[in-house]
Amino acid sequence: MARRLHARTHAWTLKEPFAIARGVRSEAQVVIVELHEDGVVGRGEAGGVAYRGETPESMLAQIEQVRAELERGCDRQQLLQLLPAGGARHALDAALWDLEARRSGVPAWTLAGVGQWRPVDSAVTIGIRDIEAYEAAARAHADYPWLKVKVGRGSPVAAVAAVRRGAPRARLIVDANQAWSVDELLAYAPALEPYAVDLLEQPVPVDQSEGLGAYAGAIPVCADEALSTLEDLPGLVGRYQFVNIKLDKTGGLTAGLELAAAARAAGFRLMVGCMLGGSVSVAPGMVLAQLCEVCDLDGPWLQAEDWPDGIVYTRGRMAMPDPPLWG
């Protein structure tokens, strides 16, 4: 039976407006693909990289450009040559992994060779809000193992202090989404140390990464917007200690696994993250999470609705995806 490709856009409603330094969103807008072959369906989903201009419509247009090759039987390695890194390739790559797993009866994590397949503890995100509201949100999730605190330039130390009051035992990631200057980082980091922050994620703009050579603080710094693909790694050496690998940026799990191996070989510690989107969009990230110290795959947790058989979050612990969902 010939392979058939179906693709569409979708919008998931969020539980509350999601505010970061770049702006506020009330929906997770995604592209969803299905590959039908021999009575089996493989699914993929992607939110894309909005700060690089990707939209569900632009991703859908890219997918349509390679429809003929996909329907003729293109595999994951061939897909790497057909599309650039980004959300469209992530959605199609995920569908190919899912299709292969379902047709072979071999789970995606086994196909990927990541070793043990286990649930993971994901950070859950507290978006930018008033100081009092930071504390209230943290208190509501005080028994979660990891919290990510989104901050801007205003009062980041006060925001983190409020979260720490609300959640005395949680491990903390502070994410400024490029909002600080290098001088602000050098001022804020020592003030954050008493609050036992585990990680500072992309505190400065990508074009100021060189200035991180002056940073010698106790809290490690993680590259997020500064890293998309293998080509970015050399410029991060000596500036960042962690890298955050997001499959929307790498263009799928196939490229993400390659990037993880190269980053580890270069001496980086690994984090896996996600864009906004439903459980199918983050399920491939759970495969990569088996190789990472830090996991931030809370996109579906932020939503008011999700896929049937979606990933279950229990105080931040992500259950393994149900077989009807993916992989």
Cβ proximity of 141 and 168 under 8 Å:
no
pLDDT score recorded for residue 21:
61
Task: List the domains of the chain with CATH numbers.
Answer: 4-105 (3.30.390.10), 120-318 (3.20.20.120)
Q: What is the DSSP letter of 320?
A: P
**pLDDT score, position 154:** 82
Residues above pLDDT 70, as percent of the chain: 99
pLDDT at 116: 79
What does the alpha-carbon distance between residue 289 and residue 294 come to, in Å, rounded to a whole number?
Answer: 8
How far is Cα 307 from Cα 278, in angstroms, rounded to an integer? 7
Mean pLDDT of the chain: 95
Cα separation, 56 vs 48, in Å, equals 7
Query: What pLDDT score does 18 carry?
Result: 73
**Mean pLDDT per 10-residue segment, the chain (327 residues):** 92 83 79 97 97 94 97 97 98 98 95 89 95 96 97 93 98 96 96 97 95 94 97 96 98 98 98 97 97 97 96 95 92
Burial code of 255-285, b = ≥16 C-beta within 10 A, e = fewer? bbbebbeebeeeebbbbbbbbbbbbbbbbbb
Active site residues: 150, 246
* Structure confidence at residue 27 (pLDDT): 87
- CA distances 28 to 5, 102, 178, 266, Å, are 23, 27, 21, 34
**pLDDT of res. 19:** 61
The pLDDT of residue 20: 74
How far, in Å, CA of 271 to CA of 293, rounded? 6
- Give the DSSP H or E segment for 7: strand 4-20
- pLDDT tens by residue, 193-209: 999 999 999 999 999 99
Is the CB of residue 284 less than 8 Å from the CB of residue 272?
no
